[in-house]
Amino acid sequence: MQLILTGGGDSSHFHKIDSHFIKLLKNNPSLLFIPLAGKRKNWKNGLERISETFSTIHFKNIDMCINLAELTWSQLKKYDAVYFDGGNTFQLLSKIRHTHMFELLQRFLHHGGVINGDSAGAVVLGSHIETAHFGHSGDENLAGVISYQGLNLLGNWGIHCHYQRSENREIKKFVKEYGIPILALHEETAVSIKGKWLKVIGERSASLFDTSKVTIVKVGQRYKLP
C-alpha cells in the first residue's frame, strides 16, 4: 500500500511533496485525476493545474474521471497513480457511494498503484469524515450524506486536513467519543504511507491523536501506525 496524503492549502507548499510523489512512479507513468470534490466548473482547470504541477516528469497520459460508477478494473489497472483533488469532502463521498471504488482502490493498491489525496481527497480515504466539520471553516454537508464512514484505507485512522492547534480540544473529544484515532495534517504537511509505516514530508510536523496520547512526528521522521 502506497499513499500520499496532503493537508491542503496553497500549492506553493507542495514542492517537496510533489517531488516525493514523482519518485514513487516509474518512467512515463499514467495518472488518473479525480476532481469530484471541487465545483464542476473548475474540473477542467484542475486537470490543467495538475498537468502543470507535474510538468517536470513526462507522463504517458493524465486522464480525468468524472463518473466513478463507470470506472472498471480493466480501466483503472492501466494507471500507475490516482489523484483525488480537494474541495468538499461530503460532495466527494456522495459521488463515491453506490460505486465499487473501495474494492477498486484496494485492488489498485495491492497491485502496486499509488494514491495521492489532497485535502478532501485525503479525508475520504480515512475511516470517518466527521473530521471535515472540524474548525471554523469546515466543510458543509450540502450533499446530504448520512453515513460518515470513509474508505478505510488506513484501518481505523481518520484524516483531518487544514489542521490548527486550536482544534485540539475538538479532535480529542471526537477520539474519546468514537474511539477513532486521528491523523491531523497542517496545510504545509503531508505524509507518505507505505504499508504500516508513515513518513512526514512537506514543511511541518504531523500530529497523531489516539485515546491515550498525542504523538508529534516531525518532518523526515518515520512512524509505525499501530
Q: Which three cell numbers stand for residue 173?
A: 473529544
User: Containing H/E element for 198?
Assistant: strand 197-202
Of 226, 88, 201, nearest in space to 217 by CA: 201
Query: At 193, which amino acid appears?
Result: I
**Mind listing the pLDDT tens digit for each residue in 43-69?**
988 888 888 878 777 888 899 999 999
Q: How many residues does the chain have?
A: 226
Per-residue pLDDT of 81-139, as tens digits, reads 999 999 999 999 999 998 999 999 999 999 999 999 999 999 999 999 999 999 988 99
Residue in 101, 209, 98, 186 with CA at minimum distance from that of residue 152? 101
pTM of the model as a whole: 0.94
Geometric angle at alpha carbon 187, from 34 and 21, rounded to 5°: 50
Which CATH number applies to 2-123+138-149+186-203+218-224? 3.40.50.880
Instruction: Give the model confidence (pLDDT) of 181-207 as tens digits.
Output: 999 999 999 999 999 999 999 899 999
Q: Where in the chain are the domains?
A: 2-123+138-149+186-203+218-224
Closest CA to 56 of 18, 4, 24: 18
Q: Do 217 and 190 meet the contact criterion of CB atoms below 8 Å apart?
A: no
Residue 35: beta bridge partners? none
